[in-house]
Amino acid sequence: MNVEFINFKTPLIRAFLEAGRILGSPTVDYNAPEHLGFGYVQTTTRNGKRLSAAKAFLHPYKKRRNLHILPMATATKVLIDTTTNTAYGVQYVRNRLKNEVRARREIILSAGPMASPQLLMLSGIGPRDQLSRHGIPLIKDLPVGRTLYDHITFPGIIFSLNTTGVSFMESRSGTVSKFLKWMQFGDNEVASPGGVEGIGYIKTPLSTEVEDIPDIELISIGGSLVSDGGPKSSKATRRGMRLSDDIFNAAFGSIDNTDTWSAFPMLLHPKSVGSLELKNNNPFSHPLLYGNYLTHPIDAATFVAAVRHVQALAATPPFQKFGAKIHPAQYPECRKFNFDSDEYWECAVRTLSATLHHQIATCRMGPVGDPLAVVDPELRVHGINRLRVVDSSIIPQTVSAHTHAPAVMIGEKAADMIRSSWRYK
């Protein structure tokens, strides 16, 4: 799995790092042990092209004779012998046909933070009341889906610039010739991960953490929500965040498709806790997710503290060189508050925040006796033999990072544990 820096940079990333240093955040490699500070974004790409876990770990070995990959197959149930509580196979559907595969040693469930808990519950492992509600015979009463953490972000702190041509704008860079150049060399703005250029880890005054653990990540964008505007542009970011046209146009219509800078704060350790439940006993239904975002008052207040920090960054000379000026977004819901009051920003946060899809903890890891644990520290499902969950659903607590790298780390660590547990058997 390759990790690299982006070759293409706007001048705004240098301003971000310099402004950080002025306010006391050193320029760091945030993947090193000390990661409070600001640094250039690092991506899992190779020559500017995205490298998925499948491309990195599976594609080179897909011809191995002891590896069988069944694409387009949907696992629908883990088969468990109820006399011994031992998992022995997986039921799946492929080409509309139901089938089964048996395991000589053990089953590794790795369907991610939504589908792994769903599959456990469909197989009889989960909260007793939920399973009985959906007519699923209970094999093991465990708090599957009881805990759900996620990272949300607020993309609404946008600064207009008085200098043209310094930021990413899809209307300028989304051309066929730039795309072809990226295909060949991977070194222009098309290689940018959605305009993200820098990452900063800060500890706001609201943090009660004694150690040097950040509570906010700042994602510095060489542009903003309005950078994918214009008549022929994708509007991918606003669509991905499911912003309605009404809210977008009221708040940002006047600066659409112009040069801007923004830093998205991401709440690293929310106190609000969500949950996941089965919708029904159909494996092809989606489970129900209850994010419960911003239900704990400290979470919204931490976002407001982050807004103030971003404003302070923008007020420093490196950003004032570009005439950075906060855009007074008008949200229909927030008109009753004075622009730039704490109440206004809290309202804006509640209106605009979106998930970054870092769901975790739905099959939480913890020792025997932990009332919230689903798997043990070797990722074996409590009370069930020969069944492990190996994906981001086992992460017990929020991490000060995005969740892809932790998911890969869990896979590598689990591979070692699985190998060592079968070595002498």
Ligand X SMILES: Cc1cc2nc3c(=O)[nH]c(=O)nc-3n(C[C@H](O)[C@H](O)[C@H](O)COP(=O)(O)OP(=O)(O)OC[C@H]3O[C@@H](n4cnc5c(N)ncnc54)[C@H](O)[C@@H]3O)c2cc1C
User: Near ligand X by CB under 6 A, which window of 6-14, 106-114, 178-186, 243-251?
Assistant: 106-114
Q: According to CB under 6 A, which residues from 333 to 372 bind ligand X?
A: 357-358
User: Near ligand X by CB under 6 A, which window of 165-173, 231-239, 259-267, 399-407?
Assistant: 399-407
Reading the block at residue 112, the tokens are 């991610």
Residue from 55, 404, 417, 418 binding ligand X (CB under 6 A): 404
Question: Using CB under 6 A as the criterion, what x/- string covers residues 24-63 for binding ligand X?
Answer: ----------------------------------------
Q: Which helix (H) or strand (E) holds 239?
A: helix 236-240
Q: Is 108 in the site for ligand X (CB under 6 A)?
A: no
HSE-up of residue 299 (Cα within 13 Å, Cβ side)? 22
Shortest CB 281 distance to ligand X, Å: 14
User: Near ligand X by CB under 6 A, which window of 180-188, 288-296, 327-335, 400-408?
Assistant: 400-408
Q: According to CB under 6 A, which residues from 115 to 144 bind ligand X?
A: 115, 119
Reading the block at residue 7, the tokens are 């070759």
Nearer to ligand X, 53 or 180 (CB): 53
Q: Is 113 in the site for ligand X (CB under 6 A)?
A: yes
**Dmax over Cα atoms in the chain, in whole Å?**
72
How many other C-beta atoms can be found within 10 angstroms of the C-beta atom of residue 96?
5
Residue from 392, 396, 398, 414 binding ligand X (CB under 6 A): 392
Q: Is 391 in the site for ligand X (CB under 6 A)?
A: yes
Q: Is 402 in the site for ligand X (CB under 6 A)?
A: yes
Q: Is 21 in the site for ligand X (CB under 6 A)?
A: no
φ and ψ of 259, to 5 deg: -75, 125
Shortest CB 310 distance to ligand X, Å: 20
Rounding to the nearest 10 degrees, give the CA dihedral for residues 196, 201, 205, 209: 140
Q: Is 407 in the site for ligand X (CB under 6 A)?
A: yes
Return the amino acid letter for 96: R
DSSP 164-216: TTSS--HHHH--HHHHHHHHHH--SGGGSSTTEEEEEEE--TT---SSS--SE
Among residues 151, 269, 309, 358, which one is catalytic? 358
Shortest CB 254 distance to ligand X, Å: 28
Radius of gyration of the chain (CA): 24
Residue from 274, 361, 403, 414 binding ligand X (CB under 6 A): 403
Nearer to ligand X, 110 or 237 (CB): 110
Shortest CB 76 distance to ligand X, Å: 7
Specify the DSSP class assigned to residue 369: T
Q: Is 20 in the site for ligand X (CB under 6 A)?
A: no
Query: What does the buried/exposed string (b/e) look like for 335-360 if buried means 16 or more CB atoms within 10 Å of the residue's CB?
Result: eebeeeeeebbbbbbbbbbbebebbb
Catalogue the E-assigned strands of 222-344.
260-267, 275-277, 288-290, 325-326
Closest by CA to 42, choosing from 152, 221, 202, 197, is: 197
Shortest CB 116 distance to ligand X, Å: 8
Reading the block at residue 142, the tokens are 């465990």
Q: Is 35 a catalytic residue?
A: no
Q: According to CB under 6 A, which residues from 57 to 96 bind ligand X?
A: 74-75
Residues that bind ligand X (rule: CB under 6 A) add up to a total of 17
Query: Would you name the residues annotated as active-site residues?
Result: 358
Contacts to ligand X by CB under 6 A: 74-75, 110-113, 115, 119, 357-358, 391-392, 402-405, 407
